Amino acid sequence: MIKPSGPLHGTVRAGGAKNSALKLMAACLLSEGRHVLSNVPRIKDVEIMADLLRATGARVERSRPGASATSATSAAPAAPAAPDAPADLVVDVPRELVPVAPYELVEQMRASVVLLGPLLARCGEARFSLPGGDDFGSRPIDIHLGAFEAMGASFEVVHGYIEAKVGDTRGRRQNLAGTKVVLEYPSHTATDNVLMAAARAKGTTVIENAAREPEVVDLARFLSSMGARIKGAGTSRIEVEGVEELLPSSHRVIPDRVVAATYLAAVGLAGGEVVVEDAHVEHMDMLLRKLGEMGMVVSLGPEGLRARSDGRLHSVDLATLPYPGVATDYKPFLVTMLAVADGVGIVTENLFAGRFRYVEELRRMGADISTEGHHAVVRGVPRLSGAPVKAPDLRGGAALVLAGLAAEGETVVSGAEHVERGYEDLAGKLSALGASVIRR
């Protein structure tokens, strides 16, 4: 439940990036042994990925920060961790894996598909339920499958599962083979998937039209620390020279740019001055430019990204694009800000056809938004009015919480479990900044 709030004041941490942590966890399967990931957010999607890893035979546990990195024979005790410091995630991967991703887990999270690359690379086969996840339009995995086919895998759909194999015509098991993979679209998770598989394929893989997201670069860094040979991550052409063996490693997850953006948008809507202490400003260029055009003052200081907003926001036009464009994940927050801004903003969604579902809920709160296919016209109103609304998906749900900050009366967002897929205690963190948000 959210009541009109503001101005907000204080400091908040974005925490580790969901869309990096999930891929790093999958990447652990590429090597037997004990991996340690730090700054892994405590969110539902991480729990689902941990269960998926367990289903393959891995052990996944949280430990005190720093404690897991200390060797068992070390005499020095680990320094006490700050009470709110995120625990390390320790992933112990056995020599033999069970190459299965079960329906009960995959249907809860579309990102499960990133296990396909590591399982094929490690086991030469995988039994994989077709993915589910956010409900915003058709989200096929043809680009993933096409890339693995080019690397020598074949697929069959049997009883709702994809049965994947890498073998010759006589059915003898083989390794994935490095080759040139041209992605039809710079799909984020397809790039992650091929990158992981290529790290242990035979020969060199070149990924053309690769996604350039910071989380892809984070994954490449982790893989390189395991011994992978990767060039060009962060550009549209990634070259991976496959190696026979990778070694377990440790890695700190980069901060979540979408969570950081959520807190910046909260300031835009409620006013005030807030510091997001772990935001990576270089990952958020286009967003910061848009927030500036809307009238927010955002600057980088020694303590982090400082955002200030007073008075009414101005409308802007925007279009989502793959990184470094304005991320589709930011759009629900930006549309919510436009809903109360001065003027008219035209928003174009270029990635996911159905990603305007939260708009119907914003309309129930008095927003003046019309949509036509990939476009939305948002006419700003002075104030929204609180209402019971339903979170349609993760980012849409977070946007409705933010909308409640700028609405008269009470807003109750149902389906809050969608929001918990990607946010660590959003209600608690907004409350700590002075907002009136309660998780019931």
Which residues bind to ligand EPU, rule: CB under 6 A?
Answer: 18-19, 22, 111, 134, 139-144, 185, 187-190, 327-329, 351-352, 394-395, 422
Q: What is the DSSP letter of 113?
A: G
Q: What is the Cα–Cα distance from 331 to 13, expressed in whole angstroms?
A: 21
Please say which residue, 161 or 352, places its beta carbon nearer to ligand EPU: 352
Q: How far is the CB of 135 from ligand EPU (least distance, A)?
A: 11
Q: Which is nearer to ligand EPU, 128 or 352 (CB)?
A: 352
CB 406 to ligand EPU: min, Å: 22
Catalytic site residue 134? yes
| Phi then psi dihedrals of residue 250, to 5 deg | -120, 150
- Closest approach, Cβ 22 to ligand EPU, in A, equals 6
Whose Cβ is closer to ligand EPU: residue 221's or residue 395's?
395
Taking the least distance from each CB to ligand EPU, the nearer of 329 and 424 is 329
Q: Which of 45, 88, 134, 329 is catalytic?
A: 134
Q: How far is the CB of 291 from ligand EPU (least distance, A)?
A: 19
Distance CA 95, CA 272 (A): 53
Of the pair 187, 262, the CB lying nearest ligand EPU is at 187
In the complex with ligand EPU, which residue's Cβ is closer, 143 or 407? Answer: 143
| DSSP assignments along 148-166, one per residue | HHHTTEEEEEETTEEEEEE
Tell how far CA 289 is from the center of its chain: 21
CA distance 53 to 287: 34
In angstroms, rounded to a whole number, what is the distance separating the alpha carbons of residues 245 and 199? 9
**Cβ–Cβ < 8 Å for 369, 376:** yes
Nearest to 210 by CA among 181, 243, 173: 181
**Cα–Cα dist 420/139, whole Å:** 21
How many CA atoms, within 13 angstroms, populate the side-chain half-sphere of residue 198? Answer: 28
- CB closer to ligand EPU out of 139 and 379: 139
For residue 303, the tally of other CB atoms under 10 A from its CB is 10
Interior/surface letters 255-269, b for 16+ CB within 10 angstroms, e for the rest: bbbbbbbbbbbbbbb
Indicate the residue type of 243.
V
DSSP label at 203? S
Residues 33, 36: Cα–Cα separation, whole Å: 10
Nearer to ligand EPU, 161 or 333 (CB): 333
Q: In angstroms, rounded to a whole number, what is the distance separating the alpha carbons of residues 284 and 17?
A: 13
Q: How far is the CB of 237 from ligand EPU (least distance, A)?
A: 17
As measured in angstroms, the least distance from the Cβ of 327 to ligand EPU is: 6
Give CA–CA dist 332/108, Å, rounded. 22
Separation between Cα atoms, residue 234 and residue 3, nearest integer Å: 41
Q: How far is the CB of 111 from ligand EPU (least distance, A)?
A: 4
Q: Are 58 and 34 in contact (CB under 8 A)?
A: no
Cα–Cα dist 1/427, whole Å: 9
Closest approach, Cβ 295 to ligand EPU, in A, equals 26
Handedness of CA 432, 433, 434, 438 (dihedral sign): negative
Catalytic residues: 134
